[in-house]
Amino acid sequence: MIDVTAGEVKALRDRTGAGMMNCKKALVECNGNVEDAIDWLRKKGLAAAAKKAGRVTAEGLVGIFVGDREGAVVEVNAETDFVARNELFQKYVGAVVKVACQGNCDIERLGSLDYPGTGRTISEELANLIAVIGENMSLRRIAYMSVAEGVVASYVHNKAVPNLGKIGILVALESAGDKGKLLDLGKKIAMHIAATSPQSTTIEDLDPALLERERNVVAEQTKSMGKPAEFIEKIVEGRIRKFYEEVVLLEQVFVIDGSSKVKDIVSAVAKEINAPIIIKSFRKFVLGEGIEKQDIDFAAEVAAQLK
């Protein structure tokens, strides 16, 4: 295999707009010949897809797939909600999340894996889909979790079709107890997470920086109220306990019954199945979360093109 420098890869990317990994692969496949590499990218649909690469992708679908003791959630973005209703796009997301559930990997590694039945990678198949549908799309993120014993449960909100929607949650429960009851509990906890967006499972694993920030804010608020110094620490600790109830999963009030804490619900089911239950992990994907959406004035856009 020939050696390809970072500069050569960047130069090809600048000319085609294709991804760095695809540019490197193209150069290797074409023995460093840039023009042949450009043609290689075009034949794969990767250069054509790059023409749309600057357009914001904040719509799309979140996909969930759960196996025996493992699960994966992926987010694949497109420009419009119309594409999320496209059967080809739905099929793609469903296939990708199944591949993702085969093992733990990051988004770059996922893109390099084989897309079933095509002879193309997942990234190459996405580029082909971009060419067919005519919108920019992107593999945004992936999460995978598994348990040695127990279940991974899921919940999808605002479903387009089964296991595909706008919000996806995975919950991993470690336990030797009855799987049916564990799955039922896991789904209810996943629905709770969809509504409350906890920041951690326990108080101990809450981000120290987040806690310190909240403590500082509460302390300053208390001081500004003119409270005596000897009372400030007690007031701060009381507010922090309330903060735990807002952001820590096990400390939150269970939304399904509106009175019990999540940790009490877990303890009750553990007693029922005569086996300890540990919430090992959870993940929540909200479609387009954190992406700055563009407000497009189509009339102005057309007028600009006519000029």
> Average pLDDT, stretch 211-227?
80
φ/ψ of 271, rounded to 5, equals -70, -40
Which residue's structure tokens are 């209703």?
85
Nearest to 70 by CA among 281, 290, 249, 289: 281
Whether the CB-CB separation of 290 and 57 falls below 8 Å is answered with no
The residues with which 248 forms a beta bridge, in sequence order, are: 200
pLDDT at 307: 44
What share of the chain in percent tops pLDDT 90?
54
Q: How many helices (H) and strands (E) does the chain have?
A: 13, 7
pLDDT tens per residue, range 32-71: 888 888 878 877 766 655 555 555 557 899 999 999 899 9
Q: Tell me what the mean pLDDT of segment 255-275 comes to.
A: 95
Q: What is the pLDDT of residues 154-166, one digit of tens each?
A: 999 988 899 999 9
Q: Does domain 59-188+280-286 have CATH number 3.30.479.20?
A: yes
Look at residue 300 and tell me whether its pLDDT is greater than 90. Answer: no
DSSP letter for 250, please: G
- Which tens digit of pLDDT belongs to each residue from 174-184? 999 999 999 99
The confidence score (pLDDT) of residue 56 equals 53
pLDDT at position 292 over 70:
no
164-165 and 150-157 beta bridge pairing: unpaired
pLDDT score of 50: 52
Per DSSP, helices labelled H in 17-121 are 20-29, 34-43, 46-50, 81-84, 87-100, 107-112
Domain 6-50 has CATH 1.10.8.10: yes
Least confident range from 116-130, 243-257, 283-297: namely 283-297
CA 52 to CA 229: how far, in whole Å?
A: 60
Q: Is pLDDT at 75 greater than 60 in this prediction? A: yes
Residues 255, 188: Cα–Cα separation, whole Å: 9
The Cβ of residue 37 has, within 10 Å, a number of other Cβ atoms equal to 28
Q: Which of 38-52, 142-156, 168-182, 235-249 has the lowest mean pLDDT?
A: 38-52
Q: With bands split at pLDDT 50, 70 and 90, how would you rate the model's confidence at 285?
A: very high
User: What's residue 193's pLDDT?
Assistant: 96
In eight-state DSSP terms, residue 289 is T
**141: nearest Cα among 92, 97, 183:** 97
With tokens 């979140």, the residue in question is: 62
Confidence label for 274 from pLDDT (cuts 50, 70 and 90): very high
pTM of the model: 0.76
Domain coordinates of the chain in residue numbers? Answer: 6-50, 59-188+280-286, 208-274
155 close to 170: Cβ distance less than 8 angstroms: no
68 phi, psi to nearest 5 deg: -65, -55
Q: What is the pLDDT of residues 88-117, one digit of tens each?
A: 999 999 999 999 998 878 888 999 999 999
